[in-house]
Every structure is written in C-alpha cells, then in structure tokens.
Structure 1
C-alpha cells in the first residue's frame, strides 16, 4: 500500500510540474488553478480535467490527512495510479502536430490557371489551397470566398472570361489570412498554443502549415485548420 501511495505522489507531482511548464511557471502554482487554465488551451488536460480534479482531492487527503506514519486516511487504487501514469506520459510525450494535419497538402503555384484550381475545389471538397511562387515560397491562401470576390469584381468590369486567370489574380482579391508555420516535429501542444494565442489577440488563425523546419519557403507537409483541432479532442477521448 505504501508503494502505491508513493507512486501516486511522485506521478502527481510530475504532472503538477508539467502544468507549471504549460502555464509559464506562474506565481500562483496551485494545482487546480493551473488545471483550469490548461483546460482552456490543451486537449489532453481538457479530456482528463474531471479525473485530475478528483486525483487532486485524493492527493490532499494523502498528504494533509495522514493519521500516523504510513497509515493514510485514503489510498489510491492500483488502477488510479496506472491511469495517472498514463496521463503523465501523454503530457511528457504529446503526439506530433502532424498527426492531426491534413496530408498530403494539395497546393498550387501563383501562375496555375484558375479553372484548374476551381476544378480541384470540386474534386476534393477543400475550401482553401496554399499558393507558392516560383521560388517555392508561400504566397497566400487561395479560398473559395476569394474566388467569389474575384468573379464578382470581374463581372462588375464586364469581364467574365477565366481562360487566362491565374492563382495570383485571385490572391489579389483575398482578404489577408492569418497563416502560421510550424515544423513537422512540433507537438500538438505547440499547435494548440498557436491557435489559443491568435484567439487571445483577436486574430483568427486560418491555418497552420507544417514544413520541415517551420519556414514559409519550404513546401507544405501538412496543414491544420480549426476543424482539424476537433480530431485532437476526439483522439484523446478515445485514448481515455
């Protein structure tokens, strides 16, 4: 029984340390407070939030309400210790962001004919495509909304021919899209942090593009939108 209590305490303290790290080591490092803050940003914590709150109560009972010596008012079940270790392992080794990205990424060049891109919209059911210039540097996101604006502008000018229209022409009509880049080795925590930060800054993040080292002059190996983040929660729920 003493071994179980010791394992529980050690594992709980390690999780506490991870929560501090996730929150930038704030002055108020109360476990439940850190849990509340982390829940808003990270799916792993969100999924296990209620269980971790209960484990915090058990930990307090073990530490602060010990009757004498090795006699505890409450002791953890073996399954509880096993589950706590599982949560700790996920916090230590979170899945890579690439796990939740759309792959492979279909992208086009700035001089790609618009009719070809519109055909791809219909075939793949995708609402946006990354566009790259001749140096393979990211130029912007071409979206179905951007195409509608482009067509409306052409119609106003009395020119509805698309024979010679290119991706670059539509990009000129696109609203500025907030797109960020991460390396393919980034964790799901890094990914969620980007979306959370943009939300706090009131700058909607349209997509995160994953490249080999996280630079915009590298070809995309994965793309993540807010819709893809739903897969993060679902995966963690399945694991739990």
Structure 2
C-alpha cells in the first residue's frame, strides 16, 4: 500500500503538536488531547473551530504510529490529508493583516465635508482616519458623525455644507475614538478576536489601524474593519 498519505499526515500532525506545545505548554508533558483542550480553553480560535477534527485526527495518528511498519494498516484518506494540511496552515502559518496593507484615504481636520461625502460615496467606506501633519492617526471621521451633524441642523430651513470641515463633524461623532492600533504581523484570526472581544464588552470597535509595530506614533499602513475579517 502506498504510504505517502501517512507520511504527509504525520509530518503535518507533528508540526501542529509542536505548535501547541510551544504556544500553550512549555512545561511538563501533555497529551495531544490535553493540549487541544488547553488551547480551546484559552480561546484559540482555530483550535476551537477544528476541536472535534483535531481529536479524531489524534486517534488516527495513534493508529498509524502504533502500526507503522512496512505494511501500513491505517492509511489516511486524501480528505483527511487535505484537512490536516488546512488546519496546519491556519495554525502554524496563519494569514496576517498585511493583506490589508494598501494606500488609505485620510483626511485632515480642515478637509471639507464635501470631500468626505465624495469619498464615502466613491469608496463605499463608512470611516476614514484623520491624520496630523506628520500623517499620524489622531481620530476617525465616520458616517455616524456626518449623520449626527446633519440631524443637529434639521430645524433649519435649509442645510448648507459650504465651509463645513472635518473638525466641525468630530464633536458629533460618537465613534471617532472606536479604533485600536495593531502591528502588521498580527494574524487575521487575532484581529477577528479583537472585534469579537470588543463586542462582548459592549464596545463598538469600528476599525483596527495597521502600523509597523502597532504603535500610534507610526504612520498608518492600512485599516481593517469587521467586514474585512468576517468571512476569513
């Protein structure tokens, strides 16, 4: 029987096991099942997603190792080999938020409301970073701020946006500080967790600002929204 599937399976299994040991248990020996449970309890998103698969894979691994002679008695199917490779790649080499690095439309406090509205329409974004002269992010201007500013003028016979600037919108924008800075090396799954954890706390986190090391004193490299990571 061709044992190529077994070799690939065991290679990926060992990488997963080493990853779990290094990240979740650097002390005494723990079984694979215990490592998986510990990682799940620590809210490791990928382990939790594949929890049952990992436990079943461990059983298959034991069958292969215990009978691994010249005659392989437990040969993984192509499906299982593809599954463990998928898990390995997501755990060991997860995609990072670098995929969201690109030129970001930013505004200054003296940017006009007309320019904000034009970009919201053309780009279909709901928030934009507001930067200073050194191009460091100081706040956000969001669709919520624009809507609240307009609502505050509803009693007027007509509303003119002539001369209105970003700095006029900010006092009306409750979401302007609802962002966090993250490093470009952060995994997409950790970014997902940031949004999920904020929601659990009852916070409305609308954006993650990517900088080189996750510092607010560094220039913006990209921006991540909940919609960006929803399907990852």
Deviation at 1:32, TM superposition (A): 4.8
Deviation string 1:128-151 (CA, Å, 9 cap, x unpaired) is 111113343322221112101011
Change (3 A) 1:55 1:74: farther
Select the structure that is richer in helix.
1
Contact 1:20 1:34 in 2 (8 A): no
Q: Which of residues 34, 48, 53 in structure 2 aligns to 1:30?
A: 34
Contact 1:23 1:34 in 2 (8 A): yes
Q: 2 CA distance for matches of 1:217 and 1:169?
A: 25
**Aligned counterpart, 1:238:** none
Please give the root-mean-square deviation of Cα atoms over the aligned residues, in Å.
3.8
Contact 1:62 1:75 in 2 (8 A): yes
Contact 2:107 2:130 in 1 (8 A): yes
Q: 2 CA distance for matches of 1:105 and 1:45?
A: 34
Change (3 A) 1:130 1:15: same
Runs of 4+ in 1 over 6 A off after TM superposition: 1-4, 24-29
Deviation string 1:158-188 (CA, Å, 9 cap, x unpaired) is 7833212111111111114421112223332
Q: 2 CA distance for matches of 1:128 and 1:198?
A: 18
1:162 is the counterpart of 2:130: no
- 5+ residue gaps, structure 2: none
Q: Secondary structure at the match of 2:154?
A: helix
The 10-residue stretch of structure 1 (159-168 or 118-127) with the greater mean CA deviation from structure 2: 159-168
Q: 1 CA distance for matches of 2:53 and 2:5?
A: 18
Change (3 A) 1:129 1:113: same
Contact 2:101 2:210 in 1 (8 A): no
**TM-score normalised by structure 2 residue count:** 0.75
**TM-score normalised by structure 1 residue count:** 0.73
Q: 2 CA distance for matches of 1:171 and 1:21?
A: 45
Q: Secondary structure at the match of 1:12?
A: helix
- 5+ residue gaps, structure 1: 233-240
Q: Secondary structure at the match of 1:107?
A: coil
**Aligned counterpart, 1:237:** none
1:136 is the counterpart of 2:135: yes
Q: Secondary structure at the match of 2:206?
A: strand
